[in-house]
């Protein structure tokens, strides 16, 4: 990356000189620590404005937490000003003209006004020029709502109509939308994320450019794609956003478009789920597992460099989606035992099944009844995993049983009997039954709790239809 230092550009040549962008009627609350940084820069003869998310969030009526300042001061000058005050200055972004000024625990990011050239790597500009004009600095930003500057005395400096976009619920690119997305294709995903977070929609030119340039997302580092996609899925209006911008989602998660008409149901499920990454990624990928083949969810998450723990949880939830269960205590106990006594996992499974309407009767009422039963199981005496039994493998071996796989099979058989209520969870009773010869010991017979659950459903004449997820 190269740096150039430009002379001060006359306002007559500013890209917004004829747009009358000033508005003095807006008063934004600024943290005194951040305000002190701006005042110190001005006292040193520099100009400075608050920019970015703090301005946007204030106009949205949301509290601002991070305060960023754009200034005419070069970063070395900023460092000198605040080190002279005894302040700690963080220089990790100095190569881009940014330093962090630490004031009573708050880091105020301060960046020199700059312009940028082409982005050969689709992420960082090849050439940065430091300038003295806030208008030129705002012109390099991604969206109009993020290209607003604020000064406590001068008010808003809004050359691209960002305030009007916020009031209209619009995400609009600054200037040429195609160029903004070519500079950094991640901005395409950011546009979708802002729509999901704010309930906005992109204007026509931005939306069309996002669709045209969606393929460029494939050249972005996968970790960056995952981070934006996760923020989108955790947003309040994520369902509408992914349905509307399905071609963008397809570029990030290949195979999404194969859901076809199932995209609408996936969108509704996402909006109904708790704001948790594991549940929402599972909802997004469940249909793709069916449409694109087993293992699709794992492959997509691994390609996105998702955390291993998240991948494992999503895989487990999707694998268990077709596990049926009536909202009755015995079947609920069997389902929990089939998952090693993990009641929290079964809760998540029922929540996901309900959101995706996996079964014909996977209604919210069924989910609520199951939740009440699981509440009782958490506080009840019935064992749900081997460790809950009043006897362990060591005691079975001491009683003369050979060590090996048969021990685990015997413990599972004992657990099944106690779950059914046919055997009390007492040491003497369990040991007597295990050594009586009546205990069916079948090592490698699979998950006996799932088999028993299916038998229970068959006894009741249950043949529920599983809804296709694609």
Does the structure show a pLDDT above 50 at 234?
Answer: yes
**What six digits make up the tokens of 137?**
């600095």
Helices 329-338 and 343-356 pack at an angle, to 10 degrees, of: 110
Pairwise CA distance, residues 342 & 327, whole Å: 17
**Per-residue pLDDT averaged across 190-216, rounded?**
97
- pTM for this entry: 0.87
**Per-residue pLDDT averaged across 78-90, rounded?**
96
Does the structure show a pLDDT above 70 at 33?
Answer: yes
116 pairs with which residues across the strands? 128
pLDDT tier at 22, thresholds 50, 70, 90: low
pLDDT tier at 449, thresholds 50, 70, 90: confident
End-to-end CA distance of the chain: 46
pLDDT digits (tens, 9 = 90+) for 434-447: 888 766 666 655 67
pLDDT attached to residue 128 = 77
Pairwise CA distance, residues 344 & 442, whole Å: 29
Closest residue by Cα to residue 22 from 204, 148, 116, 143: 148
**DSSP strands (E only) in 227-306:** none
Place of tokens 């007492």: 426
Domain 2-168: what homologous superfamily? Beta Polymerase, domain 2 (3.30.460.10)
Pairwise CA distance, residues 321 & 387, whole Å: 26
Check residue 160 and report its DSSP letter: T
pLDDT digits (tens, 9 = 90+) for 118-165: 655 555 666 778 999 999 999 999 999 999 999 999 999 999 999 999
DSSP state letters, 31-79: -HHHHHHHHHHHHTT--EEEETHHHHHHHTT------EEEESS-HHHHH
Domain boundaries, the chain: 2-168, 200-319, 329-459
Helices 405-420 and 427-434 pack at an angle, to 10 degrees, of: 120
């Amino acid at each position: 990356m190269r740096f150039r230092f430009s002379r001060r550009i006359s306002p007559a040549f500013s890209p917004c000189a004829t747009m009358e962008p000033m508005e003095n009627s807006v008063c934004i609350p600024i943290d005194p620590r951040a305000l002190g940084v701006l005042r110190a820069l001005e006292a040193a003869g520099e100009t400075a404005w608050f920019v970015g998310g703090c301005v946007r969030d204030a106009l949205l009526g949301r509290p601002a937490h991070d305060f960023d300042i754009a200034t005419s001061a070069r970063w070395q000058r900023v460092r000198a000003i605040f080190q002279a005050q005894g302040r700690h200055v963080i220089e990790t972004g100095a190569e881009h003209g940014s330093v962090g000024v630490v004031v009573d625990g708050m880091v105020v990011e301060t960046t020199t006004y700059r312009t940028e050239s082409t982005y050969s790597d689709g992420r960082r500009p090849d050439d940065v020029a430091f300038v003295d004009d806030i208008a030129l600095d705002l012109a390099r930003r991604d969206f109009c709502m993020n290209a607003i500057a604020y000064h406590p005395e001068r008010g808003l400096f809004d050359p691209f109509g960002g305030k009007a976009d916020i009031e209209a619920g619009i995400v609009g690119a600054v200037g040429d939308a195609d160029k903004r997305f070519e500079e950094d294709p991640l901005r395409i995903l950011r546009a979708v994320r802002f729509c999901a977070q704010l309930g906005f929609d992109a204007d026509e030119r931005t939306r069309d450019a996002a669709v045209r340039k969606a393929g460029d997302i494939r050249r972005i580092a996968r970790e960056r794609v995952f981070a934006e996609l996760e923020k989108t899925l955790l947003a309040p209006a994520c369902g509408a956003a992914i349905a509307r911008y399905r071609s963008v989602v397809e570029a990030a998660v290949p195979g999404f478009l194969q859901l076809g008409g199932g995209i609408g149901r996936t969108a509704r499920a996402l909006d109904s789920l708790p704001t948790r990454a594991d549940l929402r990624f599972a909802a997004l990928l469940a249909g793709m597992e069916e449409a694109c083949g087993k293992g699709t969810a794992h492959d997509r998450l691994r390609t996105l460099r998702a955390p291993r723990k998240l991948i494992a949880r999503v895989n487990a939830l999707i694998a268990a989606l077709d596990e049926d269960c009536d909202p009755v205590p015995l079947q609920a106990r069997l389902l929990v035992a089939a998952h090693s006594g993990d009641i929290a996992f079964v809760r998540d499974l029922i929540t996901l099944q309900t959101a995706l309407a996996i079964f014909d009767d996977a209604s919210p009422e069924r989910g609520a009844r199951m939740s009440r039963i699981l509440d009782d199981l958490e506080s009840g005496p019935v064992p749900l995993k081997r460790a809950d039994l009043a006897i362990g493998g060591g005691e079975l071996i001491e009683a003369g049983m050979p060590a090996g796989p048969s021990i685990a099979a015997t413990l599972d058989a004992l657990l099944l009997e106690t779950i059914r209520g046919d055997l009390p969870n007492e040491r003497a009773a369990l040991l007597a039954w295990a050594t009586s010869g009546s205990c069916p010991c079948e090592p490698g017979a699979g998950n006996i709790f799932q088999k028993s659950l299916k038998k229970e459903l068959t006894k009741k004449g249950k043949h529920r239809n599983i809804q296709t997820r694609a």
